[in-house]
A and B are shown apart, each in its own frame.
Chain A
Amino acid sequence: MREKAFFVSRAARTSPVTDPDPVDSPVDVARLYRAHERTVMRWAARLGGPGIDVEDVVQDVFLVAKRRLRSVDESWNIQTWLFRTTEKIVQTARRKRRLRQWLALSREPAAPGMGAPRPTPAEALERERAVEEVYRVLDRLPERQRRVLVLFEIEGMSTQEIAELIGAQVGTVRVWLFRARARFLEEHQRLFQRSQPCR
């Protein structure tokens, strides 16, 4: 089971059960950031793909946290809240990116600031191409299937964890995953099989 932090706010704001701890109310965003920065950044990069300004997404997520979260509640899964917020911000960023591309104002740049170990130029090129191919296919999937596939295959979460994170039944997640993989294969073949064989 993943780390289960606490909180939320609006109901808790008026609830007598709310912990009046001065440290946690309002929420200590710095502490929240230290606990979840890496996770949020990873989600942003993996959900968004190339062309998404990951730092921008992270900044927006924690700004939203600072504005919206006033107190903590142990019944609340902060990771679920952070994931939903990240997902929404990433979706907005992707929509903007698609609009910019449609207006021919920008090309697809590689995700900036990603990749801890500095690869050789050949490795970097190969990695960049792989990332672009994967996200070209992922972008053709419905949002729900795309999300489940990213969390399962790239983020490495189990179906149980995904179900908890997004608030769905495990069986439902598995059905989405099954459909997502079938659709991914189909789209991958359609996009790349004719032009170049899978490596």
Chain B
Amino acid sequence: MSMTDDLPEPARWSDSPPQGERSETAEHAIGAALRRVREATLPSDTALARAARRVNAVAAPRTRGQLIWRLVVSAALIMATGGAVGAALNRWRRVNSDAPAGVAPGANGPAATKRARRRGRHGVQAALPSPQTADLELPAEEPVPEFPAAPQPPAPVLASPTADVPAPASAGPTGVAAQPAQPAHESHARPAERRTEDAAVSVGAELVANAFRDLRSRGDAAGALQALDDYDRRFPNGVLRSESRVARVEALLTLDRRKEALRLLETADGGGALTRDVRVTRGELRAESNRCAEALRDFDAVLAARDGDAAGGRALYGRAGCRLRAGDNQGARRDLTRYLDVHADGPSAEAARRALAVLP
């Protein structure tokens, strides 16, 4: 027992007698207010009867109803939250999906099909091989007619399959891949069997991916052309027509059908499909066809941006050839010198040195 237990009970404010107006203290006033509260909070018979009715009659159903209502609300909230989170996650995945860098050599079967479908719905532009330098790169000894020091043009050969793996679209020029996106890209995954738009995109993506695989991994340019023919027949206005055209050019170059490749590239004008690599390839093909005036436009356009990359090197070398043919020896010398300055170990460096040595 503590010491306070022995103390007398404190006097209640609410029991203090009312005082005169002058002698009233705060405690007295509060005591009076507390007495009013005491009176006001006495339960009335009416209130008691109402409470009794609620306890007896409404009690159980009200509780059960509340429980059901809470369950329903909770379920709805969980479903809504889950749906929102799922949708956000799906959208985030689509936006941030790191598409595989092209079709891996030897990749086939269901896994490859799944990847192709995934590329189809996550953005074909990012997943399909873009016409990078290595893909469309003509051989170092690319023929330059009447270029005195240039070696004889060998048959065009694509780069080795190991060099064929294209960089992710974000790492390189977008070029052909920069075609306007189609609404089908935004759609969700669907089985290929369903006749929906995104399913068609998936099938098309698979066809084009097969063409690139045939071309680069297996060296089967004829098979690639068949796959591309199939694609063009089924999807004449498909969203992947730019990629299809690039793959076809690559296949035609592999088959040494250079004129056909040039014709195809010339239809690409104005379609937003002209990357630096495609344009320099077209310039080279035009130069081969003795159309140097047009070839120079392509080379100039490529060199207007920069000349330090592979496409720039090819453009310098090609422009030098055209200038030589036009009798512009000084211009050709400048280009060859610049080429050797920037690409001293480039694929055409040796030919450029020989040409400079014989130039008047």
Q: Which residues of A contact B (CB under 8 A)?
A: 29-30, 33, 37-38, 41-42, 45-46, 54-56, 58-59, 62-63, 66, 111-116, 126-128, 130-131, 133-135, 152-156, 158-159, 169-172, 174-175, 177-178, 181, 184-185, 188-189, 193, 198-199
Contact = CB atoms under 8 A, between A and B. Distances in A.
B37 interface: yes
Interface stretch (B4-12, B193-201, B330-338, B346-354): B4-12
Contact of B55 (A63, A169, A171, A172): A63
A134 to B, nearest CB: 5
Nearest to A110: B40
A58 B12 contact: no
Given A114-B47, A177-B10, A193-B26, 4 more contacts: A46-B37, A116-B43, A134-B34, A155-B38
Contact of B12 (A59, A114, A156, A174): A156
B267 interface: no
A42 B26 contact: no
A41 B59 contact: no
Interface of B: 1-5, 7, 9-10, 12-14, 24, 26-34, 36-48, 50-52, 54-56, 58-59, 63
Nearest to B7: A174
A177 B10 CA distance: 9
Contacts of B3: 171
State the 4 A-B residue pairs at the shortest beta-carbon distance, nearest first: A198-B29, A113-B47, A171-B2, A171-B4
A74 B215 CA distance: 92
A154 B5 contact: no
B26 A189 contact: yes
Contact of A170 (B5, B37, B46, B59): B5
Contact of B5 (A59, A113, A171, A184): A171
Contacts of A46: 37-38, 41
A45 B5 contact: no
Contact of B43 (A30, A41, A126): A41
A59 B44 contact: no
Given A154-B34, A170-B5, A184-B30, A113 B44 contact: yes
A131 B45 contact: no
A33 B56 CA distance: 10
Contacts of A113: 43-44, 46-47, 50
Nearest to B26: A198
Contact of B51 (A41, A130, A133, A193): A41
5 contacts: A41-B43, A114-B44, A155-B38, A171-B3, A198-B29
